Amino acid sequence: MIESLKQKLMSQRSGSNEDRYLLAGLGNPGRAYRKNRHNIGFMMVDKLAEANNIKLSRRQKKALTGTGRISGKPVILAQPQTYMNRSGESIIGLASFYKLSLKNVLIIYDEIDLDFVINDQHILQRQLVEAR
């Protein structure tokens, strides 16, 4: 999965704010949830951070974040600290703050449910537009 993400980032052209990506890994904060399958998003962001020398040390918009580069592209890695069912608040806040297009927001989570993803993208897109 990390290699396919790197290939996607490498295939994009450089030169504008459109090149920045928000990679948000979903999970639940706290030791009790650390090894839970619902924290696969957190685990993936941890691996991406480690592999690309990005420190997740800043608290921003209800998330633990770090900025850096993956395959030469600027990225914001995020682990929302709002628990799974409220993680959209954090992601919307970050996407709006960085003025990111919805196509530059990648969400990593443990469920495969295409209807949910499509519905969430519509809701996220509408809330991003309303936030601007």
- Of 128, 118, 42, 54, which Cα lies nearest the Cα of 92? 128
pLDDT at 4: 58
CATH code, 90: 3.40.50.1470
pLDDT averaged per 10 residues in sequence order, the chain, 132 residues? 56 61 93 83 94 96 96 95 89 95 90 51 50 49
| Residues that are catalytic | 38
For 25, residues 6+ apart whose C-beta sits below 8 A from its C-beta are 40, 41, 42, 43, 44, 45, 46, 77, 78, 79, 108, 109
Split into its structural domains, the chain has a count of 1
Please tell me the predicted confidence (pLDDT) of residue 14. Answer: 47
For residue 114, the model assigns a pLDDT of 46
Which residue range forms the structural domain that includes residue 87? 22-131
Asked if residue 11 is part of any domain, the answer here is no
